[in-house]
Structure 1
Amino acid sequence: MAEKIKLYGFNNLTKTLSFNIYDVCYAKTEREKNEYVAYIDEQYNAERLTNILCDVTDMIGAHVLNISKQNYDPQGASVTILISEMPMPAETLDPSCNSGLEILSKRETVCGHLDKSHLTVHTYPEFHPNQAISTFRVDIDVSTCGKISPLNALDYLIGSFDSDIITIDYRVRGFTREMDGRKCYLDHKIASIQDFIDAKTLQEYDAQDINVYQSNIFHTKMLIKELHLQNYLFNNDVLEFSPKERLEITNRLRREMIEIYTGMNVYE
């Protein structure tokens, strides 16, 4: 285990981990598209997203101060959690902090706050107007100050969603001081975000890094390697389609994934 840096005063480095995770699906008819969106809304509603973020809070060694959540019409949900590095005595909390907990089941948005940190998640189900392709995007931000690190929750977050395309940004901002007053701009070693992802998970993806080391900015994007068609057919069996149709659907799905991965409409 690497020797810890001894600091003078409070560690006020801000570490921010941002995710975009995409799930792609083939839903041909209008009814199938609407059913897919309804399915996503049910699977990833504000309550489940809250549970995921609370698990992340435990994993990074933080403590929940406040939660706010919301489901949206016609689709989507949001959750925000405010967290602290250390447990907070009840008498020190603002009495309004958790006043909404009793009615969380009636609220459509979730938000949580931390004393130095926060977690947020937003979902965006949608479908292509004429290509029978539906996508589900989830945006997650984990921002911490102090010793706790959001990198500890990487594998859990990837595994919590059907992740075909993943883009991850990690940045460390600000500085803290060592005992002799010397500024410390990074309190842990990192060469790549991939170093914090399980090797078995990485084997399933093509991954690419774009890092700016001198600014403590790290970016990784990942694209699923194997496309098993049955996993992408919503309420349909692969045997319902002819070999030609299967190839066409597979090509449509892969095209959508490549465009999202590259950030370009590459086939226009």
Structure 2
Amino acid sequence: MTPDVFKTIDLNSDLGESFGAWRMGDDAALLAVVSSANIACGFHAGDPDIMRHTVSLAVEHNVAIGAHVSLPDLQGFGRREMAVTPNEAYAMTLYQIGALHGFTRAAGTRLRHVKPHGALYNMAARDAALADAIAQATRDFDPSLCLFGLAGSALLKAGRDAGLTVAAEAFADRSYRADGSLQPRREPGAVISESDQAIAQAMAIAREGSVRAVDGQIITLQADTLCVHGDGAHAVAFARSLHAALEAAGMVVAAPHLSGARA
């Protein structure tokens, strides 16, 4: 992978994750930095008022809006695996896309992408049947939607097989195994807490198409979009620093529908 392969790259963040009286993250500040927003649809976080407000903020900042679909697990924040069938995965994906679509349509904008959250994301990365169900639900709702998924995963293959545009995603602040999968959050070192280390990892992915796995191996990792998590204490400062580093390296930060995700 040559250093100048990625002239443009997307920065996405998981937003709209407040719920009722509980607040998480500084969505307004992050939306001034990122190019794509994955908005929670009520299954793992978010509620109708938060969904509407987050869509409004995204429109204000001209940020691409995506449905952040999840397992129905508010208490576990969607991070606990559940035994769901492909039919159930299809239905819950379609349901959540439709819910967020109502708010985007009312705001005079449109959905641009779909990204599974948490446990559903990781399950679909390795389970072809679940991946196919999510891709089919996305296609059946709107075949012009872009499907976000872990770089090199079953979800991206399912999206391509369904005729969707896909965006291969990588993470600045997550550790990788040698097979390209994410190190599970329950394991030590799964989340990179040092900003400089996370930025260095993100820049290696964006410029060189590679990442150092936890065992020390350098693995190929082609990414169209980088995720910056919005729930940490220093999330906004980190997102600003990463955005600045990408631009300083001569890259343009732009959503996949503008930067050209993979067909």
- Give the TM-score, by structure 2 length: 0.28
- Give the TM-score, by structure 1 length: 0.28
Q: Which has the higher strand share?
A: 1
Q: Which has the higher helix share?
A: 2
